[in-house]
Structure 1
Amino acid sequence: MLIPDGFPGQRMLVLPRPRVQEFLAQPGTTGLLVTDSGFFPRADSHGRRRSTPISQGVVIACVDGVGWCETESGRFPVQKGQVMVLPPGSPHSYGADGLHPWTLWWFHVAGPAVDRFFAASGLTPENPVRRPRDLYPVVALMSEVLTWMERDSTTTSLNAAAGAAWHALTLLASDRSRETDSKDVIEHTTEYLRNHLADHVSIRELASLASLSPSRFSALFKRQIGYSVVQYHTLLRMARARELLDTTSRPVATIAAEVGYVDSFYFARQFKKVHGMTARQYRAQRKG
């Protein structure tokens, strides 16, 4: 049997739902509100099953012990040092291990910006467990969230809690890796792409180097970087092209060839697509 709360030494704050609606209707807010927050030490038998999705995103940091979570994509183990990020509108369950129950910091967030941020940052049911390189700053922010929530429910306090929650979410979103080995694979790939700007990129060859199928490799790359391999390679090429345009007087066609575009007309189309202007217009504009 899973117990949602009531653990010795716990801290928990649930904002009254009328106040939630009132706050989100106010002009000038951040579009995000912390609706619930807490700290559960050694939460024996803790857990929730939500077959009916809720409108809040759920963030849970495990600082000790172990547990698990389930989404429509499967069951995932959760260990000390990991964070569950469960997007709104997604059925899910989670629970503490029976022998080594976890200790948790957690909060729920709601608002018009939440869905967009989770989707854009790759915080999806397919990738619900994160291992930050450094859990301390994330937990420090979650503690700050709870402290502001416990203070009062004024707009000032709720905005401060929302700011700390935003910061925690951005840290988790920027730390895209779920597993160390997958992080290394993508880091090696991005380094390879940076060192081979002028070369043709084959997804199949890159996947083979990583001992992954092309579809699995492509999905992993897109989830961690936020762009496809081809899109990312194009952005790297364009960054080098900008550097050459800014620091040399070489002809545009020469620069195009140096960054891997034999066809200078195709380079021109790609450059304008990325920058909204031609390479010559970019070179002519004042900078700095």
Structure 2
Amino acid sequence: MYLDNSTTLGQNRAVLIPDGFPGQRMLVLPRPRVREFLHQEGTTRLVVTDCGYFPEAESHGRRRIAPIAQVVVMACVEGAGWCETEAGRFPVQQGQVVILPPGQPHAYGADAVDPWTLWWFHASGPEIEPFLRVAGITAGNPVRRPRDLYPVVSLMSEVLQWMERDSTTTSLVAASGAAWHVLTRLAAERARSDDSGDVIEHAVEYIRTHIVDRITVPELAAMASLSSSHFAALFKREVGYPVLQYQTLLRMARARELLDVTSATIAAIAAEVGYPDSFYFARQFKKIHGVTPREYRDQHKG
């Protein structure tokens, strides 16, 4: 039986099958081993507690009214499904990834007509919740569409391979590293369930390829056919910085590179990264780095 579309997170009127599919792979780490791993010195960040691969998982789903302590990550490589949090119900399509934060009730299930094929894992650790908050991965935004799903799925496959090998510290560290990499990739992606991120990606690429030019918010907003205020709010939400501050960060990154690998003068470098006034450039550089461009160049690096 499938979950009825009218069923809400607080109801449990239908039966969902958590596992048991032809061709599936699944590994559950014994909970005493989870606790032991998280208390070992150097392994306290994250541990994969469960992982698997479910092909064409007909009737698959879970409904957790009582929250669990793990983040749930599911990559839909074929078919479709849905997930629910206290923020509502979200469709899940091929190419999308579901990230359900720990400590919150949720539900998810395969589409009745076109059941999903999933790579998935659960992970626990004290740094997961604050990391997800900083990354903007919340119960209100649990579905993301990476630009390229392949690297994410490759890492999730690596998680499962290490977990299937054995439960030694070496294998668990390797699996945890791959899982952490999945989360950081998803956090770095400005991927969302709507198309707003495409607008921002185009703007970011434009800024990166016009690093020397004077760029204004109204100019970028006009390209996106948005009001300046809407575009500015959208950009800061997706990138984490206002437009002009982001351009300054890009300019300074290029300036550091030129200071490190060339013998060009400070004035020449300032001009190459968009500052015709080298004194203004030096002031901006020191404001960000705490040292002047010349002092930065003289530092020992590498």
- Do both share a fold (TM > 0.5)? yes
1:181-192 equivalent positions in 2, closer than 5 A:
181-192=195-206
Structure 2: 5+ residue runs without aligned partners? Answer: 1-13
Q: Which residue of 2 aligns with 1:8?
A: 21
Match of 1:259 among 271, 274, 277: 274
> Relative to structure 1, is the Cα distance of residues 65 and 22 closer, same or farther in structure 2, using a 3 angstrom cutoff?
same
Give the stretch that moved more between structures: 216-225 or 90-99.
Answer: 216-225
Residues 48, 232 of structure 1: alpha-carbon distance in 2 compared, 3 angstrom cutoff: same
Mapping for residues 208-223 of structure 1, pairs under 5 Å: 208-214=222-228, 216-223=230-237
Q: 1:183 Cα shift?
A: 4.2
Post-superposition offset of 1:226? 3.9
Q: Secondary structure at 2:56's aligned position in 1?
A: coil
Asked whether 1:97 is paired with 2:98, we answer no
Who is 1:150 aligned against?
A: 164
Q: Deviations over 1:198-218 (max 9, x none)?
A: 52533x443343133555534
Aligned partners of 2:36 and 2:278: how far apart in 1?
Answer: 57
SS of the residue aligned with 1:112? coil
Query: Which of 238, 241, 265 is the matching residue for 1:249?
Result: 265
Deviations 1:171-197 (A, max 9, x none): 333333236844442232123323154
Tell me, what secondary structure is at the counterpart of 1:7? coil
Spell out, residue by residue over 1:239-260, the C-alpha distance to the aligned partner (whole angstroms, 9 max, x if none).
34445655422549x9379734
User: For 2:45, what is the secondary structure of its paired residue?
Assistant: coil
| More off after superposition, 32-41 vs 242-251 | 242-251
Contact 2:64 2:107 in 1 (8 A): yes
Give the 3 Å change call, closer, same or farther, for CA 223–20 of structure 1 in structure 2.
Answer: farther
1:75 alignment counterpart = 89
Out of 279, 284, 288, the position equivalent to 1:270 is 284
Task: Tell me what 2:8 maps to.
Answer: none
Q: 2:41 matched to 1:27?
A: yes
Q: Which residue of 2 aligns with 1:46?
A: 60
CA distance in 2, matches of 1:143, 1:196: 38
Quote the residue 1:17 is aligned against: 31
Residue type matched to 1:199 in 2? R
Q: Distance in 1 between matches of 2:130 and 2:195?
A: 28
State how far apart, in whole Å, the 1-side matches of 2:65 and 2:248 are.
42
1:280: which partner in 2?
294
Q: TM-score, normalised by structure 2?
A: 0.79
Q: Is 1:175–2:209 an aligned residue pair?
A: no
Q: 1:287 to 1:145 in 2, by over 3 A?
A: closer
1:199 and 1:260 in contact (8 A); partners too:
no
Report the Cα distance in structure 1 between the residues aligned to 2:283 and 2:270, rounded to whole angstroms. 14
In structure 2, relative to structure 1, the CA distance for the partners of 1:11 and 1:272 (3 Å cut) is same
Q: Does 1:133 align with 2:139?
A: no
Alpha-carbon distance between aligned partners in 1 of 2:98 and 2:66, rounded to the nearest angstrom: 18
Q: Is 2:216 the partner of 1:201?
A: yes
Q: Partner amino acid for 1:104? A: L
Structure 1 residues 232 and 86, CA gap change in structure 2 (3 angstroms): same
Q: CA deviation at 1:23?
A: 0.9
CA RMSD of aligned residues (A): 3.2
Number of aligned residues? 285
Q: Which runs of 5+ in 1 are unaligned?
A: none
Residue 163 of structure 1: aligned partner: 177
Deviations 1:1-52 (A, max 9, x none): 2415132323322222222111100002161100111222222222223344
TM-score calculated relative to the size of structure 1:
0.82
Mean Cα displacement is larger for which, 234-243 or 155-164? 234-243
Q: Which is worse superposed, 208-217 or 96-105?
A: 208-217
